[in-house]
Amino acid sequence: MSPIKSSCGILLPLFFIVLEACESKKSPSTETDNSDLLSQRAAFSILPVMGARPLGDSIVFDVEKVDSASAFDSVIARVDGNRIGEMADQRHTFHWASEGSVTGSHIFRISGYKKGMEESSSSQTFYISSSTQPGSYRYEIIKTLPHNPESFVQGLEWLNGKLYEGTGLNGKSSVMNVNPLTGESIVRQNLDQTYFGEGITIMDNRLYQLTWQNRKGFVYSLPDLKLQKEFGYTTDGWGLTHFDGKLAMTDGTNQVYFLDPETFQRTGKLEVWDSRNPVDQLNELEYVNGSVFANKYQTDTIVEIDPKTGAVKAYLDLSNILKDADKLGNEDVLNGIAYHPKEKLFYVTGKNWPKMFAIRLIPAAKSGI
């Protein structure tokens, strides 16, 4: 990614309702009868869901039929396309249990049907947050190792005792096998200067690499890092990891997208929330023992995410891990998480950092972040 990326935070509205209606084709001077006016009205109104609701809550949707002239064979309520009930009266309350769902945005839709065709509908977007306050970690530095200060780190991975690193910036992007004792590359594959390298992950003895805004990724054989194929995607590329047979990537928002590792088609997505807000700027990723750990760009914070629900489990603050005395003046933010399964340590570094640290995480108290 570039040294400065823009992002859009999510503003939670008090409510958001989309009402589908036909526009009148008549000029203002043309007389309009009552039936024409009724055809422009939505048939239903929905009492808005206020703010984000915790995962596990039962969400209530109060719906009223406001167009008495509309007669329907059936009126169906759905959440995210899944039917939750049918409306038989002028006013009806629907309940949707969010337990077992995921955090982020959801859509409630009420639709009136005639002869199997949808005639009128209203919808509302609502939001689900994490149901628990995130925890936090302390850390213990076990090793301090040299790192090449010329490497604008975008991804870090261990495989069979070998350390792999992906770097960014146009004209400086690469993927390489790195000697962890010296920080120097052993095998290196440079990208064309038109590409800005991003996150990497290793799956089935192949290394996958994203690029930032080119919307193109690369697959390399190991250990020689020979290019095998290219693939495309529809967003910016930021961080990358894998689990349960799928790739997981970020684009700088609070979204995590899932891709098939063979076809690279998107198979799903997840929105990341803590107990109060969406957590965006998600960057380099690492899957470890049932959790996804993500760098939050432009900070020295790592976020632990539940990949089943999108809920933030904990935060790790590494803002003081690189001491002022160790800085050379060209350092950027923390970026790079590689878990060593045999050592049970996290290796972390940053963009243009002269050092890499092997740390042990220690669960601490609940956080108010």
Say what the pLDDT of residue 357 is: 97
Residue 196: domain span:
135-366
Domain boundary among 129, 147, 165: 129
Per-block mean pLDDT, blocks of 10 residues, the chain (369 long): 46 38 36 40 86 95 84 94 93 94 96 92 95 94 96 95 96 96 94 96 96 96 95 95 96 96 94 96 96 95 96 95 90 93 96 96 68
**Residues 103 and 148 reside in one and the same domain:** no
Determine, yes or no, domain membership for 201: yes
Reported pTM: 0.84
**Residues 86 and 161 reside in one and the same domain:** no
CATH for 119: 2.60.40.10
341 and 325 Cβ atoms separated by less than 8 Å: no
Determine, yes or no, domain membership for 112: yes
**Residues 103 and 155 reside in one and the same domain:** no
Number of folded domains in the chain?
A: 2
Burial of 342 (0-12, 13-18, 19+ CB in 10 A): exposed
Q: ω into residue 54 within 30 of 0, thus cis?
A: no
| Distance in angstroms between the alpha carbons of the first and the last residue of the chain | 26
**Residues 316 and 172 reside in one and the same domain:** yes
153 and 80 Cβ atoms separated by less than 8 Å: no
Phi-psi region of 37 (alpha: psi -120 to 50; beta: other; left: phi over 0): alpha
List 334's β-bridge partners, or say none.
350
Question: CA–CA separation, 209 vs 350, rounded Å?
Answer: 18
